[in-house]
Amino acid sequence: TESPNINDPVTERNLQKAAKIITQAGGLVGFPTETVYGLGGSAINDESTANIFKAKNRPSDNPLIVHISSMNQLERIITANTNNPSKAKIPEIYKPLIEKFWPGPVSILIPIDTSINDKNNPYVLSKNVTNNLDTVAIRFPSDPVARSLIALSDTPIAAPSANTSTKPSPTMASHVYHDLKGKIPLILDGGNCNIGLESTVINGLVSPPTLLRPGGLSIKEIKKVPGFENLVTELNIKKDSNEPVRTPGMKYKHYSPNAMVYLIINTKPEQNIFKSEAIGKLINANETSKSALVSELGFGQFKESDNLILRELGTTVKDIQFNMFRLLREMDQLSVKRILLIVNNSTLEDEDGLAIINRLGKAASEKVYI
């Protein structure tokens, strides 16, 4: 495979080139969306979808999200992947959600028949997309580059986040290049992703509807939509329990930089967390290797030095979401060995903070409440 430039700017020519790659069997492209960068391939081609799993080193039982750029494409997907024509409709429950938030950072589960094998219908999804589940996650991104790519290729695009499996999701083209250079021929560089965190994944096919992954669209917003008022948001899926795994992606190690990550949660707003023994110990444990404070709460008495990196995580949910993956990746670049992520309990208690605790909680090997 030809290696991409670190920066293939979004020009008409590069978009055409990318769309052409998508329409070729096996062809993959890195592209921006409003959430994170995607690793895109044709959702209706087995070679392309197989290559996505290979390039990311992704377990095959973690299904892909299919990206569309028009409602007509959704209708075509439903029709082509449903045996019974009378059932081939957009589920009613989703209509107000779609109306309000598409295009945008929310993905929805749509029923499909796994037995379909109609070689004559070009919209039959590759079996690799869902790994034989009877649902497929569909997303209509708002990012103009993503939409142009889907529309130009005239193909639904299967796209996981464009990182190597287990690594933090990419929010800049350089992150994609770092993980996938030599494995894909083109990365469209659309700059920073506005949101910086993946789409919210919703299952409206069960009653009440459930949240499968907190993400770019806030839970508070979703709960305002008729039919979603009682959205179930518990994500307490334990890795080695007998509970069924509700969304396959939740059971894997995720978002992890090379460094040891500690998520430090300040439970008492009045205390100076930086004077605590726990932080003192972690920072001084080994002065010959690099540590980092990535903090919502300033840095107290700590000053930056050769072995101590200080970075502001942000102070609003939106800022933290925007910054977190980029900062985790930067710490790897700086060869930091130990990252202390310092957040306020109130950020995490805010329902909108669920996506942050979910991602940072997975990135961290330890949570420390102070």
Binding residues among 105-164 for Mg ion as defined by CB under 5 A:
161
Tokens 């942000």 locate to 314
CB of 155 to ligand TXA, least distance (A): 15
Residue 35 makes contact with Mg ion by CB under 5 A: no
How many helices (DSSP H) and strands (DSSP E) are in the chain?
12, 15
Is residue 169 part of an annotated ligand binding site?
yes
Within 10 angstroms of residue 111's Cβ, the number of other Cβ atoms is 15
Using CB distances below 5 to 8 A depending on partner kind, what does residue 111 bind out of Mg ion, ligand TXA, none? none
For residues 160 and 353, which CB has a smaller minimum distance to ligand TXA in the complex?
Answer: 160
CB-based closest residue to Mg ion: 161
CB of 248 to ligand TXA, least distance (A): 4
Q: What is the DSSP string of 95-108?
A: HHHHHHH-SSSEEE
CB of 163 to Mg ion, least distance (A): 6
For residues 126 and 161, which CB has a smaller minimum distance to Mg ion in the complex?
Answer: 161
- Residue 131 half-sphere exposure, CB side, CA atoms within 13 Å? 13
For residues 78 and 197, which CB has a smaller minimum distance to Mg ion in the complex?
Answer: 197
Q: What is the DSSP string of 280-311?
A: HHHHHTTTTS-EEEEESS--TT---BTTEEEE
Question: Cβ distance 202 to 230 under 8 Å?
Answer: no
- Kindly report the length of the chain: 370
Q: What is the DSSP string of 310-342?
A: EEE--SSHHHHHHHHHHHHHHHHHTT-SEEEEE
Question: Cβ distance 256 to 363 under 8 Å?
Answer: yes
CB of 151 to ligand TXA, least distance (A): 16
Strands (E), the chain: 8-9, 29-31, 38-42, 65-67, 106-111, 135-139, 157-158, 188-189, 200-203, 210-213, 260-266, 291-295, 308-312, 338-344, 366-369
Q: Considering CB under 5 A, how many residues would be counted as binding Mg ion?
A: 1
Question: Cβ distance 335 to 177 under 8 Å?
Answer: no
Tokens 């010959």 locate to 288
CB of 175 to ligand TXA, least distance (A): 12
CB-based closest residue to ligand TXA: 249
Sites of contact with ligand TXA (CB under 6 A): 33, 35-36, 38, 62-65, 107, 109, 130, 133, 135-137, 139, 141, 159-161, 198-199, 201, 212-213, 247-249
For residues 113 and 366, which CB has a smaller minimum distance to ligand TXA in the complex?
Answer: 113
For residues 254 and 290, which CB has a smaller minimum distance to Mg ion in the complex?
Answer: 254
CB of 7 to ligand TXA, least distance (A): 19
- Tokens representing 293 are 């404070």
Work out the widest C-alpha separation in the chain, in whole angstroms.
68
For residues 262 and 325, which CB has a smaller minimum distance to ligand TXA in the complex?
Answer: 325
CB of 350 to ligand TXA, least distance (A): 21
Is residue 213 part of an annotated ligand binding site?
yes
Question: β-pairing, 65-67 with 157-158?
Answer: antiparallel
For residues 161 and 210, which CB has a smaller minimum distance to Mg ion in the complex?
Answer: 161
Using CB distances below 5 to 8 A depending on partner kind, what does residue 109 bind out of Mg ion, ligand TXA, none? ligand TXA
Binding residues among 153-212 for Mg ion as defined by CB under 5 A:
161
Which positions make up the binding site for ATP?
58, 62, 135, 161, 169, 213, 255
Residues that bind Mg ion (CB under 5 A): 161
Which positions make up the binding site for L-threonine?
35, 67, 139, 159, 199
Which positions make up the binding site?
35, 58, 62, 67, 135, 139, 159, 161, 169, 199, 213, 255
